[in-house]
Structures are given as structure tokens and as C-alpha cells.
């Protein structure tokens, strides 16, 4: 057992007391069972909570097993309103003969399915014996356990037998990042993708694997609905899943949770519900944006998007979104600024330093923004560099410096080589491995990855920046007052929805995405189209003078 052994023993005992038949469990489940059982009053309380729609066993599990252990296994438990909404969709779509829950957890999906479809058989699959015991207990309380086959297995490695009727695949596949996935499973993913005729990526998360396994198991006419993290909608390594849903599986609906609405309790993970079938496709896919799980209803609502649009789009999350209507005269930020990510040093431990910690001439030490929080902590303008670290940027030709400076630089280069700073892809592709090549200072700096909108900061001290922030470089020479008006609008109006959201709820703005942000033209700003922009600019310029 992991986590609090005593607490987990109590959880297992609770499952047994709620009616799990130990004669029918697997050896791994039986190994978890202990003789002690809770008092009858405690068992009765658990039973009442389960019948009221709560998940006391799942909550107990989350409290007892550490978040790091659950994260490694991809264990997140689904709120009841989401389960019911997905089941409403399935119920309105077909009457299955069988329901498969590929990562059953505490059994919320499979139990609800057995209640909704009284003539269906169920298969509940999980790799965790304690999770399977919880699912058995919940199913027994509801009186549906006799119709469910509980499998202690890996969904990718099990056998889903062919049947005459329709199968519903439904649930919350585990979310595990690619670096936690074993090489043999990455080989399985690549081979399965090739078999299904779509590209693959070694960076795909475990939830993608479950879609691919489903595509192998499904028969014509089968349907499915999975809730997963939403990052695959936009990122490059999601292309394999996007292609799968336009080929072997037939995408029917996508419902994307707003990035600020995290559907899983105590977990910083975004969400999307994907409804699919196995068979002929209509020419449109229904897409919607969901503000919260309480607003899901029975799904089935949204904007009809032509399948051809999805086939040609590299990003899906924004397709079904109602676009903000901008007043006449608004233009893209890129009309006025080029946006560039900061320089990659190749070895921050060597090239990012405190000024007093190294013996180098001041001419090669550049105060720089090296943490995004340095911008979040500023008052919209960077007026001092005293708290900033320096980036060491040695010129390609430093022979023109005085002899003492040359000696100090060469000693540091020798040190950098000793600690391996001359190795790695980035440094091997520089003109000189020891010359970072910082970009020029940008008048405006911006964060680009957080759980909140970007912070735009006026760079009064002309600090340099590395790749933790973006630099906004004017296409023309704008006055301090004009730059401050741009700054005012950006900090008040840019939203998370303008970027792309990753698992964990982080929203990222690539340089080109930031350039596509809509802003008032400079003429509109001068005319006062943005409330308070001119007054704000005047005060900001005065403060920085």
C-alpha cells in the first residue's frame, strides 16, 4: 500500500463492509483486504452518502494517497455532474448492450451506466487493486455489481471481445505525462498509430493511448465519450489524436472547459469532453465552450463546425468559440510590434549569475529578466535592475578589450568548459559556444505562460531577457506616452482565451499568438477610445521620468 497504510486499510475494510465479495476478487485485491471492519454505524453512513450521489470512498482515497502518487498513476476522480452529463449524451444517442469503463477508479461511470442501462453488461478496468475494490463496493451498494466484470488490467493490454450489440466506451482515462510512460508503451503507441494510419508522437500523454486502444477494440456502431485534459486540442504532439478522431474514430462533439474552470477537484488540469462513434461521419462536429461543470446539461449544444475546418486547422480549442467582436479600427498587435521570445542561454547555471558572484568585466554582464515572476512583481514598469540577475554575454571578438578583461573572460570560459557548458544542442549551433548572443532590450516585456493573463511591463531600465518572457519590439519609433497607452490596454484587456491551454491549467502565448491579439489602432488610443489610457500613460511617463 502507498500513502497512509493505516488509513488505506480502513478504506479497504470499508469496501469489504459495504458488501464486496472477497471470494470473487483478484489475488491483488485480496492482498489488500484486512480482517478489521468499520463499525456498522460508519458503514451505514458511507452507504447513505453513496446513495445520495456522493463518492466518499473516492474522497477517502484522495485524502490518503499522496497527490504525487496519484499524479504518477494519472488518478483524478470525476465530479458527478460531469458523469451525469456524459451519460445523458450516451442515453440520448443509443442503448448499449455493453459499457466499458477503461480507467474505472471508484466506479462512478460504470455504476451510473448500469443504473441508466438496466439490460447492459459492464466491464470496469483499472490497474489499481484498491480502486477496483472501491468500484466493487459502490456497485454493490447500488445493486448493479452482478452485471459488471471487474478487471485488474491495463486497458491497452486487455481483450475486449466482439459482441453482437453496441458498446459504449465511457470514462476518465488517466492523465500521465509522456516522461512517466515506459518505452515499451511508447513503442506500442507508435505501432498502433501506424496500424491505424495516423502519425504518432513520443510526447503524447497516457489519455491519448486510451483513445487509440478504443479505436482498436471498437466495432462499427459503437460510441464513446471521454473526459481528458484539453492540451491535445492545440499542441503539436496532439496531432495524432486529432487525426485519429477524424479517421478511425468518428468525432461527434467536443466540449472544452474554460481554462479558469478546472473540472477536477484539487487538480490543476484543464478539461475537454470528447464524444465519438465508430462509423459514418456527418459533415459537421458540434463544439462548445463550457464555463463550469454545472453548465454542461446533456451536452448536444454548441456550434456546428465543418469537419474540413478541423482537418485543416492546427489548433482546435478556439474553433467553436464565439469570437469577440471588436470595434471598428481594432488591429492585430503585430501591426505595431514584433514579438520575440528571449534568448536561450543553453546553461542558465553558468550564464545566469549574480553580478558579485563572478570575476568578470562589467561590459559582459547584462542585467536581465530571468524569471517571469520578476514581471508579475513589478508595477507595470521595470524601473530598477538592482534585483535582477545578470546574463554573461561575451562578444564573439573580445580581443579588443584590455588584457585584464581578456584574462578574466578566458578564465571563465575555461570554467564553463569544465562544467560542461560547451555541450548541448543550443551551444553547438552557436557561432561560439561561449557567446550567448542576447537580443537587444525590448521596450515592453511580457510573460507568456501562466494561469493568468500575460503581464505587460514597460522596460524603463532597458534590461535584457531570456526565454522565460517575450519582448515586444516596435515596428516604428513610438513615444513613451504611446508605449504606455499600448501597455494600459494590453494589461486590462488580454484574456486567457487568446492563448493555448496545457494540462495543469497553464495558458501559453506563442510569439505569433501574441501578435494576433486585437488592440485599438494608435489613432483610436490617441482619441481616447480606451478608457483612461491617455491619463494612465501620462502618469506612467511622469513616474518614470
pTM: 0.68
DSSP state of 243: H
pLDDT at position 38, please? Answer: 63
Residues (pLDDT < 50) of the chain are: 1-3, 533, 536-537, 540-543, 545
Please, are residues 514 and 449 in contact by the beta-carbon 8 Å criterion?
A: no
pLDDT of amino acid 39: 60
Asked whether 155 and 133 are in contact (CB, 8 A), the reply is: no
Q: Buried b vs exposed e over 170-181: b needs ≥16 C-beta within 10 Å?
A: bbbbbbbbeeeb
Cα–Cα dist 367/464, whole Å? 6
Burial class (CB in 10 A: 0-12, 13-18, 19+), 275: buried
Residue 129: helix, strand or coil by DSSP?
helix
Could you give the CA distance from residue 532 to residue 488 in angstroms, rounded to a whole number? 8
The three-state DSSP-derived secondary structure of 402-433 is CHHHHHHHHHHHHHHHHCCCCCCHHHHCCCCC
Residue 75 and residue 141 in contact, taking contact as beta carbons nearer than 8 Å: no
Grid cell locating 190: 507508435
**DSSP-assigned letter for residue 512:** H
d(Cα 409, Cα 392) in Å, to the nearest integer?
A: 10
Query: How confident is the model at residue 268, as a pLDDT?
Result: 53
- Cα-based angle 432, 436, 441 (whole degrees, multiple of 5): 140
Residue 6 has a pLDDT of 63
Q: What is the DSSP letter of 23?
A: T
Sort 223 into a burial class: Cβ within 10 Å, 0-12 / 13-18 / 19+: buried
Tell which residue, 303, 293, 181, has the closest CA to residue 254: 303
Q: Kindly calculate the radius of gyration of the chain based on its CA atoms and give it in whole angstroms.
A: 28
Helix H or strand E encompassing 190: helix 183-196
Q: How far is CA 112 from the centre of its chain?
A: 27
Amino acid at each position: 500500500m502507498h500513502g497512509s497504510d493505516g488509513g488505506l486499510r480502513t478504506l479497504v475494510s470499508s469496501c469489504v463492509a459495504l458488501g464486496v465479495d472477497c471470494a470473487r476478487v483478484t489475488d491483488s485485491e485480496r492482498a489488500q483486504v484486512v480482517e478489521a471492519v468499520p463499525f456498522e454505524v460508519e458503514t451505514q453512513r458511507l452507504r447513505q452518502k453513496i446513495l445520495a450521489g456522493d463518492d466518499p470512498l473516492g474522497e477517502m482515497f484522495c485524502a490518503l494517497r499522496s497527490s504525487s502518487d496519484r499524479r504518477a498513476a494519472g488518478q483524478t476522480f470525476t465530479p458527478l455532474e460531469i458523469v451525469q452529463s456524459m451519460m445523458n449524451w450516451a442515453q440520448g444517442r443509443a442503448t448499449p448492450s455493453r459499457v466499458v469503463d477503461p480507467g474505472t477508479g471508484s466506479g462512478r461511470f460504470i455504476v451510473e451506466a448500469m443504473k441508466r442501462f438496466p439490460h447492459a453488461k459492464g466491464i470496469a478496468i483499472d490497474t489499481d487493486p484498491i480502486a477496483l475494490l472501491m468500484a466493487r463496493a459502490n456497485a454493490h451498494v447500488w445493486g448493479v455489481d452482478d452485471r459488471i466484470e471487474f478487471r485488474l488490467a491495463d486497458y491497452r493490454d486487455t481483450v475486449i471481445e466482439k459482441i453482437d450489440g453496441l458498446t459504449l466506451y465511457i470514462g476518465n482515462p488517466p492523465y500521465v505525462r509522456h516522461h512517466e510512460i515506459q518505452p515499451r508503451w511508447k513503442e506500442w503507441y507508435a505501432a498502433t498509430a501506424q496500424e491505424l494510419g495516423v502519425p504518432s508522437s513520443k510526447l503524447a500523454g497516457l489519455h491519448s493511448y486510451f483513445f487509440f486502444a478504443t479505436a482498436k477494440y471498437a466495432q462499427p456502431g459503437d460510441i464513446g465519450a471521454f473526459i481528458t485534459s484539453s492540451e491535445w486540442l492545440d499542441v503539436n504532439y496532439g496531432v495524432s489524436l486529432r487525426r485519429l478522431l477524424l479517421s478511425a474514430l468518428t468525432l461527434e462533439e467536443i466540449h472544452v472547459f474554460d481554462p479558469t474552470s478546472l473540472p477536477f477537484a484539487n487538480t490543476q488540469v484543464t478539461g475537454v469532453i470528447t464524444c465519438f462513434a465508430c462509423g459514418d461521419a456527418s459533415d459537421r462536429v458540434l463544439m462548445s465552450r463550457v464555463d463550469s461543470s454545472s453548465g454542461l446539461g446533456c451536452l448536444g449544444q454548441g456550434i456546428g463546425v465543418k469537419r474540413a475546418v478541423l482537418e485543416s486547422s492546427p489548433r482546435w480549442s478556439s474553433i467553436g468559440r464565439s469570437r469577440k467582436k471588436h470595434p471598428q479600427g481594432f488591429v492585430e498587435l503585430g501591426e505595431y510590434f514584433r514579438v520575440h521570445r528571449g534568448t536561450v542561454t543553453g546553461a542558465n547555471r553558468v550564464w545566469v549569475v549574480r553580478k558579485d558572484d563572478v570575476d568578470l568585466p562589467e561590459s559582459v554582464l547584462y542585467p536581465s529578466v530571468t524569471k517571469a515572476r520578476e514581471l508579475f512583481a513589478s508595477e507595470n514598469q521595470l524601473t530598477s535592475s538592482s534585483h535582477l540577475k545578470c546574463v554573461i554575454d561575451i562578444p564573439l571578438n573580445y580581443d579588443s578589450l584590455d588584457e585584464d578583461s581578456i584574462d578574466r573572460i578566458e578564465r571563465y570560459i575555461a570554467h564553463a568548459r569544465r562544467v560542461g557548458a560547451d555541450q548541448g544542442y543550443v551551444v553547438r549551433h552557436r557561432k561560439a559556444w561561449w557567446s550567448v548572443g542576447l537580443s537587444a532590450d525590448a521596450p515592453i516585456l511580457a510573460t507568456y505562460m501562466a494561469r493568468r493573463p500575460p503581464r505587460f511591463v514597460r522596460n524603463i531600465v532597458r534590461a535584457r531577457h531570456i526565454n522565460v518572457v517575450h519582448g515586444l519590439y516596435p515596428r516604428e519609433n513610438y513615444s513613451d506616452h504611446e508605449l504606455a497607452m499600448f501597455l494600459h490596454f494590453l494589461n486590462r484587456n488580454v484574456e486567457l482565451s487568446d492563448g493555448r491551454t496545457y494540462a495543469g491549467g497553464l495558458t501559453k502565448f506563442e510569439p505569433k499568438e501574441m501578435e494576433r491579439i486585437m488592440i485599438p489602432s494608435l489613432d483610436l488610443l490617441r482619441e481616447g477610445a480606451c478608457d483612461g489610457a491617455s491619463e494612465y500613460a501620462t502618469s506612467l511617463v511622469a513616474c518614470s521620468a
